[in-house]
Amino acid sequence: MKRPPLLLVVLDGWGHRDDPESNAIASSAPYFRELMGRYPHGLLHACGAEVGLPEGIMGNSEVGHMNLGAGRVINQDITRINAAIASGDFFENGALLEAMEGARRDEQNLHLMGLVSDGAVHASDKHIVALLQMAKKVGLPGGRVLIHALTDGRDTPPRSGVKHLARLEQACATEGVGRIVSVIGRYWAMDRDNRWERVQKAHDLLTVGVGERRDSAIVALEQSYAAGVTDEFVEPTVIGSQDGTRIEAGERLIMFNYRADRVREISDALSNEDFRSFERRGNGRPVITTFTQYRSDFPFPIAFASNNLSDMFPDVISRAGLRQARIAETEKYAHVTFFFSGGKEDVLPGENRILLPSPKVATYDLVPEMSSRAVTDAILAELARAETEVYIINYANADMVGHTGDYDAACQAVAAVDGCLREITAAVNAQGGLTVITADHGNSEQLVDPESGEPHTAHTLNPVPIVFCGAEFEGQSIRPHGVLADVAPSLLQVLELDQPEAMTARSLIQ
C-alpha cells in the first residue's frame, strides 16, 4: 500500500511576533491562523546558539534549511571562523597564507572582496579585520592590500553602510594595512538568480574600473544616500585613483563571504575560462581563494572546509526507498537542495528537483506574489501523479518581499502564500497525508524598525511557527517549544523510520 504524502513546507521569512504593529504575518494570513487553531502547533528557535550561530545573531535561510535537514544543531561557518580567530588558528590557515605569501613573494597586490557588514548572514566585518591583521603579520606592504567593499542594507539597516565602512577605514589605519579601492551594492555583486546584467556591472568595476569616482568610501555612500540610493543598490564606484587598483590576471584575490549562494555568480565570472553569460572585459583571471566552498566544481583553495554532514533527513529517506521532491523558485532553490542536504550538490536516488523561475523584476515588492502560483501548481501536479512520498517545499515571498521593507507589498506576499496553503492542505488531506508547515527565520513579522521608525529590511530574532496539518493530528499536541533541528526527527517519526545516531535533536511529537 502506498504511503500517503508528507509535505514539509518552509515559509521563508515567516516569523512569529505577538505585536500586530508592522506585522504582515499577523495581518494577512487568516488561513494560516485557522490552521494554528485547528492543529497542534508550537514555536521553534531559529537564531543564535540554537542554530549554531553566535548568541544574538539572527538566523538566515542557509542556516535554517541546514538545521531543518540535519536533525542536529550545526555549528555554522561564522562560528567556526570566529573560533579560529579567537584561538589564533586563523592566522596559520594554509590557504590564506598561500595567497598572502604568494602576493608578497611576487610583489603583487592582494585583493580582498566581500560584504562589509555586521549582519553576519553572508560575511562578518570581524573577519576582514582579521585578514588585515594577518596581512600585516605576513609582511605585505600596507598599500598593496586592496579592499573591494560590497555594501549590505538588506541584512542591516538600509543606510548603515557608512558606519561599517568607517569602522573598516579605522581598522586599516590602526593596522597600517589596507585601503578601500572600490564600493558597490550587493544588489549588483551578489545576485543569485542569473541576472547577469547586474553581475557584469560588478565585474567591470573590479577588473576594468568602470564606475563613478569618489575621493573616499564615506563620500561615496553619503552622495549615494543624497540621491536616494541606499546601501544595497550603491552604484559601482572607484575610490581614489583607479591606477593599479583593478584586479589583474594572476593577482591573488581572497573572497571573504562565507555563505556560498550569493557569490557563486561573481566567482564564476571572475574565474571561469569558458564563461559565456556576458562579454568580459579585463586582462584575465585572478588567483582566487575563498573562505568556504562556493561550488563543488570551483577549483579554488578553500580556507575553511565545509562540515562533512552525513545522515541528513534526505539521506535517510532515500536509503529507505522513499521518493522525494524538492520544489522551490530560483531565489530559494539552493536552500531546499544544497543547504537542506547539508552542503551537498548530489541528487540522491529517488530525488526529483523542480525549479520554477523567479520573476525578472528589479525588486520583489513589484511582484509580491513572486512565483508562488507556479510553485503551488507544481506541488498539486506532483500530488495528482501520486508517485512521491515526501516533499520539501519553499515559499520565498515573506523573506524576499520582506527584505524590501515595503509593508503593503509584504502583506500581499503573505496573503498570496496563505492562499496557496489552503490549496495544498486540501489536496494533501484528500489523500490522507500530512502537511508540516514551518519557517527558517523571521522577517515579514517586523517591517518597521521600532527604534528609528525606518523600514526594517533584515531578518529578526523571533521564533518561527510550526504546525502539523492532517486528520491524524487533530486533537493531539506537540511540544510547544523546540529548535529547527527538531523537525527532521519529527518527520522520521511520522514516516516510522529510525532516527540515526547523528541526529541528536528530539521529535516534537509527544
Contacts for 62 with CB less than 8 Å, ≥ 6 apart: 259, 260, 261, 335, 339
User: CA-to-CA distance for 509 and 31, rounded, in angstroms?
Assistant: 23
| Residue 42: Cβ within 10 Å count | 21
Provide the pairing of β-strand 212-214 with 237-239. Answer: parallel
| Given the residues 22, 28, 61, 124, the one annotated as active site | 61
User: CA-to-CA distance for 489 and 70, rounded, in angstroms?
Assistant: 9
Contacts for 3 with CB less than 8 Å, ≥ 6 apart: 322, 389, 495
Give 261's DSSP letter. T
Give 242's DSSP letter. -
User: CA-to-CA distance for 343 and 349, rounded, in angstroms?
Assistant: 17
User: CA-to-CA distance for 505 and 186, rounded, in angstroms?
Assistant: 35
**Residue 192 has which C-alpha cell?**
543569485
Provide the pairing of β-strand 6-11 with 434-438. Answer: parallel
Contact 293, 302 (CB under 8 A): yes
Provide the pairing of β-strand 434-438 with 464-469. Answer: antiparallel
DSSP string of 141-183? Answer: -GGGEEEEEEE-SSSS-TT-HHHHHHHHHHHHHHHT--EEEEE
Q: Where are the beta strands (DSSP E) in 261-332?
A: 287-290, 324-329
Closest CA to 361 of 424, 418, 413, 439: 413
Closest CA to 139 of 173, 94, 174, 104: 104
Q: Where are the alpha helices (DSSP H) in 328-471?
A: 333-334, 372-385, 397-400, 407-430
User: CA-to-CA distance for 263 and 324, rounded, in angstroms?
Assistant: 28
**Residue 235 has which C-alpha cell?**
552604484
Q: Where are the alpha helices (DSSP H) in 320-406?
A: 333-334, 372-385, 397-400
* Strand order through the sheet with 145-151: 212-214, 237-239, 179-185, 145-151, 110-115, 252-255, 287-290
User: CA-to-CA distance for 458 and 5, rounded, in angstroms?
Assistant: 34
- Reply yes or no on whether 271 is catalytic: no
State the catalytic residues. 61
